[in-house]
Homo-oligomer: A and B are copies of this chain.
Amino acid sequence: MANSPSGDSVTDRLVRVLETFTPTRTVQTATEIGRRAGLPSSTAHRVVGELVDAGLLDRDAEGRIRVGVRLWELATRSSLPLRVRQAALPAMERVQARVREHTQLAILEQDEALFLERLSSPEAGANITRVAGRLPLHASSSGLVLLAFADAALQERVLSRPLRRLSPRTPTDPAAVRRKLAEVRRLGHAIAPGYIEEVSTGVAVPVRDDSGRAAAALSVVLPVDAPPGPALEELHRAARDVERALAGHDRRK
């Protein structure tokens, strides 16, 4: 044994440690982290200690570990998600004020839909998406929009892999998804009734960049029985605003 006989670099290990944290598991003991990251106990304690010293992780009074505020700060202050989010926020607020349901912003990341922001009114229903959470591309309205307006290579890659079923109504047949994508391209928006939870319908529109690809997706979660028309109209208007805001920022820089 010596410097990483397991064949992974220090950087890899740090990432593995950070990956043990999830939206639902935000505090862990050092031993737990080690177990989940596949590190020997003594190593795990040392690595976690280093990260705490560096401020990337925080240790609370009981010795439990959580992700550090400093890491959030470093990651947030110069990241792309923040720029997109800031450009989209005013438009999202308007949508949210009018439609009064969950309003979301997602981008494409590693073949999944990554949610950058979510505004929720108290009266809106349940919603499994979370900020910094992910959903499969074929099973969410946001994902379908991102996929429909992405390059062909990505579409093939996604469709060639098994399509996970999240609810009885999730489309898992590649041919069916392909048809759905064609429909999304034709209509300029995606409607996903019950794909994730049977009680709700996702409605999404693309935010296009100048090459025509979807830079992001704006979406709203409606009850299944609600008419999607008014929300769609708001979303389309909002998408135009976001496109303008993003283009404006780019030009200025």
The residue from B26, B58, B74, B80 contacting A18, defined by CB atoms under 8 A apart:
B74
Residues of A within 8 A of B (CB): 3, 9-12, 14-15, 18-19, 21-23, 25-26, 47, 50-51, 53-56, 58, 66-83, 86, 89-90, 93, 97, 107, 109-110, 114, 119-122, 130-133
Assess whether B66 is in contact with A72, with CB atoms less than 8 Å apart.
no
Q: Contacts A15-B55, A131-B86 given: A75-B74 contact, CB under 8 Å?
A: yes
Contacts of A69 in B (CB 8 A): 79-81, 107, 109, 114
Contacts of A54 in B (CB 8 A): 11-12, 14-15
Q: Contacts A11-B14, A15-B56 given: A132-B77 contact, CB under 8 Å?
A: yes
CA distance A21 to B21 in the complex (A): 24
Known contacts A18-B74, A18-B75, A75-B76; 9 additional CB pairs below 8 A are A11-B54, A11-B56, A21-B78, A67-B79, A67-B80, A76-B131, A77-B131, A77-B132, A93-B119
Q: Measured between C-beta atoms, what is the minimum distance from A30 to chain B in Å? A: 15
CA distance A18 to B120 in the complex (A): 32
The residue from B23, B51, B72, B97 contacting A75, defined by CB atoms under 8 A apart:
B72
Q: Contacts A77-B22, A109-B70, A114-B69 given: A131-B15 contact, CB under 8 Å?
A: no
Assess whether A11 is in contact with B50, with CB atoms less than 8 Å apart.
yes
CA distance A152 to B152 in the complex (A): 61
